[in-house]
Structure 1
Amino acid sequence: MADNWPPQEITLSSGKRILFLTKNLDLIRQQLYDGLNLSMSDLTVDELLDDINTDVMTPAWVCFDHDPAEIAKNGYAGLIHNGKRVFEENALINGNFEVIVSGHRKGTGSSRETAAQAEKWAGIRIVIAASFAPIHERNNINLGQLMGDHEMLEKLQNGATLPLCEFIDKYDPITKLIVENGGIFPFAKQLKSGNIDLPIPECNQRPMTMCEKIIAKKLLATNGKTAYVEPHNAVLASVNGGYSHEFTTAQVHEFLKHEYGENYSLPDPDKFAVFEDHLLYATGVPRFGPFTDKIQTLRNMQNLFQQHTGVRDYSAKDGIS
């Protein structure tokens, strides 16, 4: 597959592999460690794992790393069988997989973005499932991952080339643009540079609720014209405020540096804030002991982000947030 992801035509890459997450965990082990290669024609959807939880993909302790490349080393660390990890450290990376396949409701559980990151930074770019949990699906979209079904995979394994539109035609116009541009950060950068024209909602003048009026007033790309919205419109709107906490701020800082450079800035930083929440009482908790340094790194990087951007600082004082 092309480095400029995603290309307009999707094929399987020579030398890359497909990982099938089967209910038979021994088959997963054979794919990871013994070089077993399976085909969709070898399996039925019922033989694939359903309800794969994001806590299985990246348990909480994995999220103490903020670098996605480090997170990927422990992808699926929460899949335990007979007291042992099915995926040892680096197993997902070392498998040389570009496609991962499961059953129904992929990505249930916590909304953590790290679950999708673990797959992407392990080299996976196509995620196949019968269905996806909505938030996990959105996390994949924001990373520029392609999601398809088992019939599409079987075509790819038979040597077919699929147009990108087969993966994205199910989405609204804005989501299509996000995936076509490789994810939310590249999309936002192109939008800021004026290289993307946002679609304007096709909505005639109508009575609107208070919430709809607020959204309509904040719409981007209306060129100053009065706009109207209605349920199911896909829109982008400016916001009056936002926040980040210490479990996510380190990634925000690093991603913005990567996309916009070391000297990036936030517009209207006084509208945004950081606060301590998830890790406020982690110090001194025995089970968090092995991760003390990583936890402190997350706190320190939130401080760096606040100092760099000038957002409001609601850090804890004397242990009180």
Structure 2
Amino acid sequence: MRTPSEPTGGSRTRNISLSGNLLVITEDTDLLAAQLDGTSTATTAELVRAPLMNNISTDEIIPGWCCYWYDEKLGEYAYLGLRDKKFGQGAVKAFAPQIIVSGEAKGCGSSREHAVYAEKYAGVEIVFARSFERIYQQNCRNVGIITCDDFTVLDALLAGEELPLDAFTRRANDIERAIIDLGGLFGFNRETRKGTQSPIKPDFDAARPLNAVEKIIQSRLSSRNQCPEDAAVRVGESYFVEADVRFSHEYVTPMAAGMFAQQFGADAALAGPESCYFFQDHLSLAEPVLKRRANGLELIERVENLGKRQQEFATLSGGNFIGPADTGGSRAICHNYIVENVARPGDVIIGTDSHTCTAGAVGAFAFGVGATDIANSWYNREILVKVPAVIQVNLLGELAPGVCAKDLMLALLAHPMIQGSQTLGKVILFSGPGCASMNLDERATLCNMAVEAGGMTAMFEPDHVTHAHLALRGPAASAGTDVLSDQGATYSAVVDIELAGVEPMVALPGDPRNSFPLASVDTEVKVDKVYGGSCTGGKAYDMDMYASVFKQARARGVTVPEGVQAYIQVGSEAVMRYAADRGYIELFGEVGVSVLPPSCGACINAGPGVSESPDEVTVSAQNRNFPGRSGPGQVYLASPYVVAATAIAGRLSSVEDMFKTRTQS
């Protein structure tokens, strides 16, 4: 079977017509299922005019467990996780759509390139959507799938026209267009090395004041597109940038390692292996969960093979392997480890995980990439960056007691200047006097969830909080380079947030953007499981917040009620030591909460805390709750304070209300 390493197609003279099936992903999943089983009576024109499904996550394009494969088997799993579950394995591949059509924000969520390969191996050549998430669109481009948000082009195809490739790519810049023309990133680089592809000289602006994001990009430009004197990088233009840190985890390393060997040769060496990290963190607690599934033994074997292949590649390449812990689980979740030990101000950091943006808390320009991008960067340290527009979010004042960064981020997801597709591909730059009241862990929460807003990443400019964090690494550690925005720098929007006005929030099941004030939920939500963990909710300060609530419960002699399973999962061994030193581990146990070692665990549907049936309800401190993300049940997102209060109340609850039912019954 062919491994996903060699995109096919690509020709500057290629013409495209509608020669195969077209699949329209409508809001009405019955209409979608009818297309797949051949019972649809609607015309294609009627389907395209019907409400299209928005916010299709990569979890829905391909569920997490399907990513244990990385060959043509992926085609059988295309859209197996789509909401409502109206069709089964292999249905999309059997239909063999040449073109897929959907609505806004296609490909939100995970950076998994398995999603676009699932579409590719199911026959998809072109994806139309009203808008695309950045990583998904870049992954499509890298593997030779054409994306287009111009529905007049779709209309022309439906009318029977044959169109040149550039009709689909007219909104792309020159480098993006060349990559598409040549069938993907590897084809582009191969033809460039051979000299058959002329070097593309990107455009620059005249010198101007730069914001911190633009400054970092300009400082890291590759030698093949250096910035002339008295010039500046241009927003919307793409440049090759040299990465300071590259990392991957066991989901992606084997796929990328296969690409690396096929493209660059079996003896190819990593450029700068000391700055490459390989984490075994996503599936380290998966076995007990997988055992309960019908094909559990097969899945466990796949997981074990992923780990072995990753460790072999890391060892042979000379990279840093951050593997399992002796006491179970992982040594750390990749994002926690990078923030604790690696990220520096001014760094460019790329990782095969959409939450790589967490390292923006330290003043790094950090963002997620797919398998093709990481494999290419292992060889030459380069990553193609389209200079993003930057939204400046000014934080003013301080948060009220009992309100934290998770509440602020959920509030931002509902903000009129952030919600919808207004942040797609952009960077959120947090600034203003309110930043001084945010500790490093709280900054990490805000940056971590920038991708849930559709953003490329988020950043804080370095200050005394940053420097205090870096000082914990010891005097021999590099402090990086403080990069601050120039006076007069340009932003696409400026948003002022009065922190005192932020209240406890909750995201209702299905999407993190379904966020509302907790006080507005006027029906009782009884819970089956409570999960405090993941890269978002497993940091040291998160432990402080859980503990502050559980101490109140212990003082009253109240514990987690019967029938509710509650878990706290730390994000790293360092956080586990922090919690143990403060007596939190004993405290959590005394109130009936199970403590778990570091791992992505339930957040990726691979550890204790996952739901087992559609009617189960979970309240979680993780970052996303897309359908199927953490099992088949319903997941509410909330802050560590609300998660802990909910564990004690047995229902979705604020800290103030968590004892009400117990004391009145």
| Shared fold (TM-score, shorter chain, > 0.5) | yes
- Asked if the contact 1:201/1:235 (under 8 Å) is kept, the reply is no
In the alignment, the residues of structure 1 paired with residue 213 and residue 129 of structure 2 have an alpha-carbon distance, to the nearest angstrom, of 35
* Alignment deviations for residues 37-83 of structure 1 (CA, whole Å, 9 cap, x no partner): 8654233434332222222111111122222x1122111111254xx
Q: Does 1:77 align with 2:80?
A: yes
Secondary structure of 2:232's aligned partner: coil
Match in the other structure for 2:303: 295
In the alignment, the residues of structure 1 paired with residue 12 and residue 99 of structure 2 have an alpha-carbon distance, to the nearest angstrom, of 16
How far 1:30 sits from its partner (Å)? 2.9
Match in the other structure for 1:25: 29
How far 1:211 sits from its partner (Å)? 5.8
Larger radius of gyration: 2
1:203 corresponds, among 190, 202, 205, to 205
Alignment of 1:54-203 (within 5 A): 54-67=58-71, 69-79=72-82, 81=84, 85-148=85-148, 149-194=150-195, 195-203=197-205
Secondary structure of 2:136's aligned partner: helix
In the alignment, the residues of structure 1 paired with residue 166 and residue 287 of structure 2 have an alpha-carbon distance, to the nearest angstrom, of 49
In the alignment, the residues of structure 2 paired with residue 39 and residue 265 of structure 1 have an alpha-carbon distance, to the nearest angstrom, of 53
How far 1:277 sits from its partner (Å)? 1.6
Match in the other structure for 2:16: 11
Q: Are residues 210 and 107 of structure 1, via their aligned partners in 2, closer, same or farther at CA, if it must alter by over 3 Å?
A: closer
In the alignment, the residues of structure 2 paired with residue 218 and residue 303 of structure 1 have an alpha-carbon distance, to the nearest angstrom, of 30
- Asked if the contact 1:9/1:161 (under 8 Å) is kept, the reply is no
In the alignment, the residues of structure 1 paired with residue 228 and residue 83 of structure 2 have an alpha-carbon distance, to the nearest angstrom, of 56
How far 1:262 sits from its partner (Å)? 3.3
The letter of the residue matching 2:133 is A
Moved more, 256-265 or 145-154: 256-265
Secondary structure of 1:237's aligned partner: strand
- Asked if the contact 2:104/2:130 (under 8 Å) is kept, the reply is yes
The letter of the residue matching 2:179 is I
Secondary structure of 2:178's aligned partner: helix
Match in the other structure for 2:314: 306
Alignment of 1:212-291 (within 5 A): 212=214, 214-220=216-222, 221-222=224-225, 228-232=231-235, 233-285=237-289, 286-287=291-292, 289-290=296-297, 291=299
- Asked if the contact 1:40/1:154 (under 8 Å) is kept, the reply is no
In the alignment, the residues of structure 1 paired with residue 189 and residue 230 of structure 2 have an alpha-carbon distance, to the nearest angstrom, of 22
Q: Are residues 206 and 19 of structure 1, via their aligned partners in 2, closer, same or farther at CA, if it must alter by over 3 Å?
A: closer
- Asked if the contact 1:101/1:128 (under 8 Å) is kept, the reply is yes
Secondary structure of 2:288's aligned partner: coil
The letter of the residue matching 1:246 is E
* Alignment deviations for residues 271-299 of structure 1 (CA, whole Å, 9 cap, x no partner): 21212221122233355745211111110
- Asked if the contact 1:99/1:126 (under 8 Å) is kept, the reply is yes
Residue correspondences, number: 314
In the alignment, the residues of structure 1 paired with residue 292 and residue 110 of structure 2 have an alpha-carbon distance, to the nearest angstrom, of 20
Sequence identity (%):
29
Moved more, 159-168 or 102-111: 102-111
In the alignment, the residues of structure 2 paired with residue 140 and residue 270 of structure 1 have an alpha-carbon distance, to the nearest angstrom, of 29
Q: Are residues 8 and 39 of structure 1, via their aligned partners in 2, closer, same or farther at CA, if it must alter by over 3 Å?
A: farther
How far 1:309 sits from its partner (Å)? 2.2
Q: Are residues 56 and 257 of structure 1, via their aligned partners in 2, closer, same or farther at CA, if it must alter by over 3 Å?
A: same
How far 1:95 sits from its partner (Å)? 1.2
Moved more, 154-163 or 285-294: 285-294
In the alignment, the residues of structure 2 paired with residue 35 and residue 64 of structure 1 have an alpha-carbon distance, to the nearest angstrom, of 33
In the alignment, the residues of structure 1 paired with residue 107 and residue 239 of structure 2 have an alpha-carbon distance, to the nearest angstrom, of 25
In the alignment, the residues of structure 2 paired with residue 207 and residue 134 of structure 1 have an alpha-carbon distance, to the nearest angstrom, of 26
Q: Are residues 295 and 315 of structure 1, via their aligned partners in 2, closer, same or farther at CA, if it must alter by over 3 Å?
A: same
- Asked if the contact 1:75/1:87 (under 8 Å) is kept, the reply is no
The letter of the residue matching 2:181 is E
- Asked if the contact 2:62/2:114 (under 8 Å) is kept, the reply is yes
Q: Are residues 224 and 283 of structure 1, via their aligned partners in 2, closer, same or farther at CA, if it must alter by over 3 Å?
A: same
In the alignment, the residues of structure 2 paired with residue 205 and residue 132 of structure 1 have an alpha-carbon distance, to the nearest angstrom, of 31
Q: Are residues 216 and 22 of structure 1, via their aligned partners in 2, closer, same or farther at CA, if it must alter by over 3 Å?
A: closer
In the alignment, the residues of structure 2 paired with residue 90 and residue 239 of structure 1 have an alpha-carbon distance, to the nearest angstrom, of 38
Secondary structure of 1:19's aligned partner: strand
Secondary structure of 2:261's aligned partner: helix
- Asked if the contact 1:126/1:145 (under 8 Å) is kept, the reply is yes
The letter of the residue matching 1:10 is N
How far 1:217 sits from its partner (Å)? 4.2
In the alignment, the residues of structure 1 paired with residue 28 and residue 170 of structure 2 have an alpha-carbon distance, to the nearest angstrom, of 33
Match in the other structure for 2:324: 316
In the alignment, the residues of structure 2 paired with residue 212 and residue 80 of structure 1 have an alpha-carbon distance, to the nearest angstrom, of 38
In the alignment, the residues of structure 2 paired with residue 216 and residue 197 of structure 1 have an alpha-carbon distance, to the nearest angstrom, of 19
In the alignment, the residues of structure 2 paired with residue 144 and residue 175 of structure 1 have an alpha-carbon distance, to the nearest angstrom, of 11
In the alignment, the residues of structure 2 paired with residue 273 and residue 238 of structure 1 have an alpha-carbon distance, to the nearest angstrom, of 16
- Asked if the contact 1:57/1:115 (under 8 Å) is kept, the reply is yes
In the alignment, the residues of structure 2 paired with residue 310 and residue 219 of structure 1 have an alpha-carbon distance, to the nearest angstrom, of 25
Larger % of strand: which? 2
Secondary structure of 1:295's aligned partner: helix
In the alignment, the residues of structure 1 paired with residue 12 and residue 91 of structure 2 have an alpha-carbon distance, to the nearest angstrom, of 27
Secondary structure of 2:201's aligned partner: coil
Runs of at least 5 residues in structure 1 that lack an aligned partner in the other structure: none
Q: Are residues 38 and 12 of structure 1, via their aligned partners in 2, closer, same or farther at CA, if it must alter by over 3 Å?
A: farther
How far 1:97 sits from its partner (Å)? 1.6
How far 1:228 sits from its partner (Å)? 4.0
How far 1:200 sits from its partner (Å)? 3.8
Match in the other structure for 1:51: 55
The letter of the residue matching 1:60 is G
How far 1:234 sits from its partner (Å)? 2.3
- Asked if the contact 2:24/2:48 (under 8 Å) is kept, the reply is no
* Alignment deviations for residues 87-124 of structure 1 (CA, whole Å, 9 cap, x no partner): 32222212122111122332233333222221112110
The letter of the residue matching 1:140 is C
In the alignment, the residues of structure 1 paired with residue 42 and residue 191 of structure 2 have an alpha-carbon distance, to the nearest angstrom, of 39
Stretches (4+) displaced over 6 A: none
How far 1:225 sits from its partner (Å)? 6.2
In the alignment, the residues of structure 2 paired with residue 189 and residue 209 of structure 1 have an alpha-carbon distance, to the nearest angstrom, of 34
The letter of the residue matching 1:159 is G
The letter of the residue matching 1:183 is G
